[in-house]
Structure formats: structure tokens, C-alpha cells
């Protein structure tokens, strides 16, 4: 089940969750998604890797061709012909689940995948560069852009309409109403 024999590791993998354990007795697994389950439910192939280790071409990767998947109590449960029984499914507990970015469903207007915002340049309405998006934080009420600028100055800007004026995913540029001195 490792890449090889005609299967190559995609270069656009995005971590989307982890295997929490087996589900039922027929070899299904239960995945705890890191966010919305859309990417997991849309992709027909998942890539699993033990939790320790970085993303690299390795024999540790396992291909998980998704037979059936569905949401269940805040998780995603899925079966695969590659996982014939509960014992094999239990052995996958703790694996990190990756999906090709190409398999993500198209977002609705004014919706963005976090992975597409990371690396974007952030400028304010005065065209002053605040820095680059290095990550996002979910505080429960809304998301927060984590921006690192010159001199490793970190800014946290709420990702809400009052502060975020425009997002150009293709151009990797975000315009915000936020001063350099905030």
C-alpha cells in the first residue's frame, strides 16, 4: 500500500486530519478532521502517514483508496478495499491523513481554504506591507490571520469583513484595514 508500482506521491498534499481509530468491524476508519470535512468527503484517495515525520517521499506513506465515506458525529468514517478488517483499521490509528489540494471542492464565493491564504502578502489600504500570512488561528468566534513582517514582527489580524477588505487568492495578496503600528 505504499507509493510505488505506478502510484506517485502528489506534490500538493495538504494535511486534513488524523485517524482516531477503527469504526465498526468491517475495516472502516474514523478520521478527526482538522476543520471542515469537505476535502475528506470529496477526495477519492487519501494518503496516510504515521504521525512522526515530515512530508517527504517515503515508504511510510500508505495509499487509502476511499470506497465510501460520510460524516458521523463530528468525524468522517470511511471504508476502503485496502483495509479488509478491524485489525488493519486499528493499525492505522494515529496516522495523519493528507489529501491532494486538487481534490478539494471549489469554495463558494467569499470562502477560502486556509492553505490558499498561507504565503499571501498582506498590505493595508495605504499600500504598506504588513508581511506574509504564516498561518491562521481559529478562536471559536472567527479566524485570525497570523502575519509575520520585517524583523519577525508578528501581527494577528481578525479575518472578518470589517478588517479584511479584499482577498486575491490567485495573486497571493490580501488588503486589510490595519495600521503598521497596531
Tens-digit pLDDT profile for the chain (182 aa)?
444 344 689 999 999 999 999 999 999 999 999 988 999 999 999 999 998 754 444 558 999 999 999 999 999 999 999 999 999 999 999 999 999 999 999 988 888 898 999 999 999 999 999 999 999 998 888 999 999 999 999 999 999 999 999 999 999 999 999 998 88
β-pairing, 62-65 with 45-49? Answer: antiparallel
Q: Phi first, then psi: what are they for 83, rounded to 5°? A: -125, 95
What pLDDT was estimated at residue 4? 39
Strand partners, 33: 17
Q: How far apart are CA 31 and CA 24, in angstroms?
A: 13
Instruction: For residue 55, give the C-alpha cell.
Output: 512530508
What pLDDT was estimated at residue 35? 84
What pLDDT was estimated at residue 138? 86
pTM: 0.77
Q: How far apart are CA 68 and CA 130, in angstroms?
A: 44
Q: Which domains does the chain have, with CATH numbers?
A: 13-103 (2.40.30.60), 114-176 (2.30.30.240)
Amino acid at each position: 500500500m505504499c507509493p510505488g508500482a505506478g502510484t506517485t506521491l502528489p506534490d500538493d498534499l495538504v494535511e486534513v486530519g488524523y485517524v482516531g481509530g477503527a469504526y465498526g468491524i468491517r475495516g472502516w476508519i474514523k478520521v478527526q478532521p482538522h476543520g471542515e470535512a469537505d476535502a475528506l468527503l470529496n477526495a477519492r484517495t487519501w494518503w496516510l502517514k504515521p504521525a512522526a515525520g515530515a512530508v517527504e517521499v517515503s515508504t511510510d506513506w500508505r495509499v487509502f483508496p476511499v470506497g465510501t465515506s460520510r460524516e458521523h458525529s463530528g468525524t468522517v468514517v470511511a471504508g476502503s478495499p485496502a483495509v479488509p478488517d478491524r485489525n488493519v483499521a486499528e493499525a492505522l490509528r494515529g496516522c495523519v491523513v493528507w489529501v491532494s489540494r486538487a481534490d478539494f471542492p471549489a469554495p463558494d464565493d467569499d470562502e477560502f481554504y486556509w492553505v490558499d491564504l498561507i504565503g499571501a502578502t498582506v498590505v493595508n489600504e495605504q499600500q504598506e506591507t504588513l508581511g506574509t500570512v504564516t498561518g491562521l488561528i481559529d478562536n471559536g468566534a472567527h479566524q485570525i490571520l497570523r502575519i509575520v513582517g520585517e524583523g519577525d514582527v508578528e501581527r494577528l489580524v481578525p479575518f472578518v469583513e470589517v478588517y479584511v477588505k479584499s482577498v486575491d487568492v490567485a495573486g497571493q495578496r490580501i488588503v486589510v484595514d490595519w495600521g503598521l503600528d497596531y
